[in-house]
Structure 1
Amino acid sequence: MTELWTVEIDSSVCVGSGLCASSAPECFTLETSGRARPPQAPVEAADEVLEAAENCPAAAITLRKVAGGEEVFAP
């Protein structure tokens, strides 16, 4: 069974650099305002999603395990 993560983006600190969307385009998209938008549904745990969160210049991305809500990555 594959682990699932929820992706949260703090839009009040997102600067719209687009690094997350370029690192994990299947997970992140950019809104017309330029801010990142997380997926509506949980995503499969993947290195590229974790890398996107770790490399966010605004530290706006939090990842949590669906099962139990434990933080995988938090700024």
Structure 2
Amino acid sequence: MGDRWQVEVDRSLCIGSAQCLHHAPDGFRLDAGRQSHPVDPETDANEKILAAAEGCPVEAVTISLLGSGEPVFPPEE
């Protein structure tokens, strides 16, 4: 069984660029205020969600391992 992720969007950082939608159209939605939110905050690990987090120009998307909270993106330095 693969990893499960907790996906979050910091709405105080989100600028509504929709890059997350470009990378993972099934994983994110923009609300009426053009703020992003994950469709399913608890999801199976997948490359599209990771690409969405990496492609966010303001790093508003964070991913951690469900259960342990260990960071997936951005990685700990």
**C-alpha distance in 2 between matches for 1:9 and 1:51:** 14
Whole-Å separation in 1 of the counterparts to 2:52 and 2:40: 17
Question: Distance between the aligned counterparts of 2:40 and 2:8, measured in 1?
Answer: 10
Unaligned runs of 5+ in 2: none
Is 1:42 equivalent to 2:50 in the alignment?
no
Residue aligned with 2:67, SS? coil
Residue 26 of structure 1 and its aligned partner are, at CA, apart by 1.7
Q: Distance in 1 between matches of 2:7 and 2:41?
A: 9
The percentage of counterpart residues that share the same residue type is 39
Give the superposition deviation at 1:58. Answer: 1.2
What per-residue deviation string (whole Å, max 9, x for no partner) do you get for residues 18-66 of structure 1?
A: 0101211221111111110123441110111111101101110110000
Aligned residues: 75
Match of 1:11 in 2: 11
Could you tell me whether the CA contact under 8 Å between 1:7 and 1:39 is conserved in 2? no
Post-superposition, which runs of at least 4 consecutive aligned residues in structure 1 deviate over 4 A? none
2:71 is matched with 71
Instruction: Report the TM-score when normalising by structure 1.
Output: 0.90
Q: CA RMSD in A?
A: 1.4
Q: Structure 1 unaligned segments of length 5 or more: list them.
A: none
